[in-house]
Structure 1
Amino acid sequence: MSVKKVVQKGQEVDVSTIISKMVQRARTAMDQIYDYSQEQVDEIVQAVAWAIYKPGNAEELARIALQDTGVGRYDHKVIKKRRKTMGTLYDLKGKKTVGVINRDVATGITEIAKPVGVVGAVVPSTNPGATPVNIAMMALKGRNAIIIAPSPKGLSTSELLLKYIHQELEKIGAPADLVQVLPSPVNKAKTKELMKQVDFLTVTGSRNNVNLGQTSGTPNVCVSEGNVVSIVDSTAKVKEAAHKIFLSKTFDNSTSCSNDNSIVIEASVYDEMIEALQKEGGYLCNPAEKMKLQEAMWIDGKRESRTLAKDPEIIAREAGMKNTKAKKAQFFMVEETGIGEKHPFSGEKLAVVLTVYKADSFEHAIEITKKILNYHGRGHSCGLHTTDESHIEQIGLEIDVCRLLINQVQVYGNGGSFDNGLNFTLSMGGGTWAGNNIGENLSYKHFLNITKVSRVIPEVVPSEEELWGTYWNKYGRE
């Protein structure tokens, strides 16, 4: 079998050697901080967070990311980098990850935290700056080293980020090799080899990359794609719901797995909701415009990059929309009744295009939502705009998602917020519904191995009556 090779610095080098050298440097760096105190570890995390939050750094990273990937919005990328970093640092503040982290006298269990090892992080082109820092903070909190595998288009952003991180690590005397980025050229061969050689893996991005990660043979916490659906029921505060959906749909030109993709509106408030969305800058496409938009977004079933996470005026131009209102729209709306491959608007779009469904009742809205998520996005997230508490419980029981946001901006809240209880992250699991190992938001806890030290406690032996009493009373002992 031939060994895959790449040209690096003018010389042909096999991919396995490139990765093994990086992993070895990562292990050496981990050994150097293994005896660090909690305070020293926390200082490393602060340093990495400051590397992106520092005035000027987030702006430059956002500029390069937009320049090289061509997706998203500069101002929103700056906000994302700062908000996610601040939120994650707040989540990590005060958490114990070194040595004894918990003692339970009643059970006789003492928990001791240890690293999982060298972490490989495959990150998407949609977030080549924010996602690496977010995962690095969590991994480093557990005294792990991390090697980042960016997308080819995101490499320059990740390389600049690495430069900023190394500058901060040097300030505090921490080893630079705690954080590394795959060298140019970034390709599938290097990424796949990294997946094999690291101790622990996380993949955020395309369905193909997630599948590769989950079948790599390496312990992993790869996460699912999104296709967020929000229901607007008959009791919703329509204007508030419309504004929140607008914010979610348009943030960073819908590069996130948490942007609203479809909304399902109860018939009794349908017209009112459409009007409210139009006041927020939404443009409702007629059937002919919808077809033109579809042709501009998909070619032979494949998503067309010309309209991927682009500004709305670019989408309008590519779709040949002549209407003045369409050219000035903040986002587009298409009415839909179908779901599945023949109806591409029912899936994840990564565009400022909102698919709109009308439901006869709340029960019908749940039915539509289930069908959409079963086609694409099951396990990830959905939302509900309501003032009816019974609807909240009903949808919670019936919809198979790991995150259900009530009266919130999906894209802000799914990945953690200062006004909800979800932890900050850019990587969200969808549980077994999505074929993932985790259903929660990725957090520092996923980057810890825990040794449980068990001590003898006073014996407690249950009686047979305690265990089978209710069963015997009902069915007898025979």
Structure 2
Amino acid sequence: MNVLTAVSPFGNGLERLKNYFSEKNYQQGEYLFKQNDMPDGCFYILEGQITTQYYDHDVSTDIDLEPYSEGELVGAMSLVVDEPRAMSAKVIKPVKALFLSAAQLENLRKIDEPAYQEFLKLFNDSLISRLKKNRPLNKHAALQVARIPTVDQQVELARLAHQKFLSWSEDKVDEIITDIAKTIYAEAQELALLTQKESGMGVVEHKILKIKLGSLDVADSLVNKPGNGAIELEANGIEKVSMPIGIVFGMIPITNPVETTVFKTLISLKSRNAIIISSHRKGRLVGERTVELIRQVLKKHGAPEDLVQTPELAANRKVTNAYMTHDDVSMILATGGPSMVKSAYSSGTPAIGVGKGNAPVWICDDSDVEGAAKKVINSKAFDNGVVCGSENNLIIDKAITNDFLANAQSYGAVVLTTAEHELLLDNIFASGKGLQAEFIGQSAADICAAAGIERDYDIKLVLAEVQPYDFDSILLREKLAPVLSFIRNADDKMALDHAYEILELEGKGHTAIIHTNNKDRVRAFSAVVQVSRVLVSTAGTQGCIGADNGLNLSWTLGCGTMGGGSVSDNVSYQHLQNNKRIAY
């Protein structure tokens, strides 16, 4: 018989060991030991039950792990290896236990070798028994199914606020949206300064422009549009009625923290939903300030403030997962890196995610060369190139390459020599996986200084040549900085080949750009590039979000299944609605 199946372990060759144990009793709620304590002994449970718990500081919560009951040894591992307790042991049913102190165990080891060997046998049998039970829970797995009280509380507040907001009139909703936009617009400079200080990225003046565009212009695009409950005659005998979805979990990138927060808030309110804003860890302060301003407007209008919240706990994967998998969260709006977007789609909650950009740009020989150069420079230099739909790789027809480069230099670009090209790769792309993180959102002047590249003028953009069909070049991948690759293009086939292959490397589903006056070329280009938006003779930074064309003005750009997403639109409030159809 296994010694651990009996009420007492002292039999079957363990007679000497019993002289070293003492009996102890514990009541419900007491602890045998606590996490991080140095071990003072171990316990053999005679009666009752305990549960082991792991306190996770990220979520400020005790996570229940495994229960132990009669016939089991608890706390021996940390005692044997002489390390702090990895978890706590809390009594859930009154416990009678035999206790072996650390001092007694040391005596065993020194003066009673047979008894010490009996202890090791007991310890070994305990481990085997635990393995045989094959309980799969560990710290990580337990956390995935554990409830985090602060998350539950916040989601419940959002649910109640959403219910109260359902009865508000469309005019009142539009009034709130407009007032939020005006408030953010008025605070654009403060928010831009805070963003730049906290993230270390971008250009303050450009951030001010983005925040202003992302507030009043977004509000103008929403006001007076049909919202919740609108009835549309969709077809003969078919009426479509829009409905809110409930609670949105909005994940915010560090590249555009304020404008994305405001955008997701405004489209959530327009569609009559509540939203919980989760900012990037490097943008938490500006995220909290933005949400604070929004909540002040809600309070002023008598609307539930908890329509818009931000997590109390610092952003980390555990907290984010708790929101994404919460039963009462209806939709995840994920704007950020590929791993974050993938986790959103893997959460089991409906999600809209955004893929990476890496726009190829064909500069055709029939284009306005000077105009194209000016648009490219101003677009990619804007906010130091952090907009995901901005230009990344130029495909310039040979007949106009020198003319284009000369114009680009006149607008502040530096065209690298062969030696400077190597300096750029060695110092700025040294990881071999792409642009090093510390150079994301940094100015072209600072990037050149770090690489040892100099000019006698203010450098706004870096142009690095890549040889045709060199698809192994790291420069053909996404660069969230004012750095562009360019190739000298021989003919239309080469241009189309490169546009296609560049997107296969990275950026599939997002954006591609062509500068031409030839509609046939536009059609051919559009047919080849696997993207959700093709911009014609337009700056990528402004064009991708719909700032200077007919696309929906948006800071969440769907990339379709091509980019691993669920929608290919510029996301707007309609994506946060369910539709009911009445068929006559």
Normalized against structure 2, the TM-score is what? 0.74
Aligned to 1:187: 316
Measure the CA separation in 1 of the matches of 2:515 and 2:290. 38
Aligned to 1:154: 283
Q: Which moved more, 1:92-101 or 1:299-308?
A: 299-308
**TM-aligned CA deviation for residue 99 of structure 1:** 1.5
1:259 counterpart letter in structure 2: S
Contact 1:47–1:165 under 8 Å retained in 2: no
Measure the CA separation in 2 of the matches of 1:192 and 1:382. 33
**TM-aligned CA deviation for residue 391 of structure 1:** 0.9
Measure the CA separation in 2 of the matches of 1:75 and 1:427. 22
> What percentage of residue pairs aligned between the two structures are identical?
29
**TM-aligned CA deviation for residue 263 of structure 1:** 0.7
- Does 1:49 find its partner at 2:181? yes
Distance 1:212 1:94, change over 3 A: same
- Does 1:89 find its partner at 2:219? yes
- Does 1:383 find its partner at 2:525? no
Aligned counterpart in structure 2 of residue 314 of structure 1, from 432, 435, 446: 446
Aligned to 2:301: 172
SS at 2:488's partner residue? strand
Measure the CA separation in 2 of the matches of 1:363 and 1:84. 39
SS at 2:362's partner residue? strand
Measure the CA separation in 2 of the matches of 1:389 and 1:324. 39
- Does 1:37 find its partner at 2:37? no
Measure the CA separation in 1 of the matches of 2:341 and 2:545. 18
Distance 1:5 1:80, change over 3 A: same
Measure the CA separation in 1 of the matches of 2:506 and 2:61. 42
Measure the CA separation in 2 of the matches of 1:13 and 1:52. 39
**TM-aligned CA deviation for residue 95 of structure 1:** 1.1
Q: Deviations over 1:22-72 (max 9, x none)?
A: 11000000011111111122223223322311x2x1111110110010011
**TM-aligned CA deviation for residue 382 of structure 1:** 0.8
SS at 2:191's partner residue? helix
Alignment of 1:288-327 (within 5 A): 288-302=419-433, 303-321=435-453, 323-325=454-456
Alignment of 1:297-376 (within 5 A): 297-302=428-433, 303-321=435-453, 323-325=454-456, 328-337=458-467, 342-376=472-506
**TM-aligned CA deviation for residue 94 of structure 1:** 1.6
Q: Deviations over 1:375-429 (max 9, x none)?
A: 1001111111112121112212222111111111111011012x41101111111
Aligned to 2:402: 271
SS at 2:257's partner residue? coil
Aligned counterpart in structure 2 of residue 123 of structure 1, from 234, 252, 258: 252
Q: Which moved more, 1:185-194 or 1:76-85?
A: 185-194
Contact 1:7–1:13 under 8 Å retained in 2: no
SS at 2:467's partner residue? coil
Aligned counterpart in structure 2 of residue 214 of structure 1, from 341, 345, 357: 345
Measure the CA separation in 2 of the matches of 1:40 and 1:2. 49
SS at 1:224's partner residue? coil
Contact 2:53–2:62 under 8 Å retained in 1: no
Aligned counterpart in structure 1 of residue 159 of structure 2, from 27, 42, 46: 27
Contact 2:356–2:507 under 8 Å retained in 1: yes
**TM-aligned CA deviation for residue 3 of structure 1:** 6.5
Aligned counterpart in structure 2 of residue 78 of structure 1, from 185, 200, 208: 208
SS at 2:57's partner residue? strand
Contact 2:61–2:148 under 8 Å retained in 1: no
Distance 1:319 1:339, change over 3 A: farther
Distance 1:24 1:13, change over 3 A: farther
- Does 1:430 find its partner at 2:481? no
Aligned to 1:476: none
Normalized against structure 1, the TM-score is what? 0.90
Alignment of 1:385-404 (within 5 A): 385-404=515-534
Measure the CA separation in 1 of the matches of 2:469 and 2:424. 17
Measure the CA separation in 2 of the matches of 1:289 and 1:275. 18
**TM-aligned CA deviation for residue 111 of structure 1:** 1.8
Aligned counterpart in structure 1 of residue 189 of structure 2, from 59, 68, 73: 59
Q: Deviations over 1:76-102 (max 9, x none)?
A: 000001112223212212211122331
SS at 2:289's partner residue? helix
Measure the CA separation in 2 of the matches of 1:281 and 1:2. 60
Distance 1:393 1:75, change over 3 A: same
**TM-aligned CA deviation for residue 130 of structure 1:** 0.9
Measure the CA separation in 1 of the matches of 2:278 and 2:471. 31
Aligned to 1:465: none
Measure the CA separation in 2 of the matches of 1:248 and 1:439. 23
**TM-aligned CA deviation for residue 453 of structure 1:** 1.3
1:446 counterpart letter in structure 2: H
Measure the CA separation in 2 of the matches of 1:444 and 1:4. 40
**TM-aligned CA deviation for residue 246 of structure 1:** 0.7
Measure the CA separation in 1 of the matches of 2:54 and 2:488. 56
Aligned to 2:356: 225
Larger Cα Rg: Structure 1 or Structure 2?
2
Aligned to 2:38: none
Measure the CA separation in 2 of the matches of 1:4 and 1:233. 61
| Structure 2 unaligned blocks of 5 or more | 1-51, 64-146
Q: Deviations over 1:239-293 (max 9, x none)?
A: 0000010111101001110111111001111111111111111101112211221
**TM-aligned CA deviation for residue 339 of structure 1:** 6.6
Aligned to 1:5: 56
Measure the CA separation in 2 of the matches of 1:341 and 1:191. 36
Contact 1:297–1:308 under 8 Å retained in 2: no
User: What is the Cα-based RMSD across aligned positions, in Å?
Assistant: 1.8
1:319 counterpart letter in structure 2: A
SS at 1:324's partner residue? coil
Measure the CA separation in 2 of the matches of 1:4 and 1:235. 66
Q: Which has the higher contact order (CA 8 A, sep 6+)?
A: 1
Aligned to 1:145: 274
1:48 counterpart letter in structure 2: I
Measure the CA separation in 1 of the matches of 2:336 and 2:470. 22
Measure the CA separation in 2 of the matches of 1:4 and 1:218. 27
Measure the CA separation in 2 of the matches of 1:307 and 1:285. 18
Aligned to 1:200: 331
Q: Deviations over 1:190-214 (max 9, x none)?
A: 1121111121111001111111111
Measure the CA separation in 1 of the matches of 2:209 and 2:232. 36
**TM-aligned CA deviation for residue 304 of structure 1:** 2.1
Aligned to 1:474: none
Measure the CA separation in 2 of the matches of 1:239 and 1:202. 39
Count of residue correspondences: 447
**TM-aligned CA deviation for residue 295 of structure 1:** 2.4
Aligned to 2:46: none
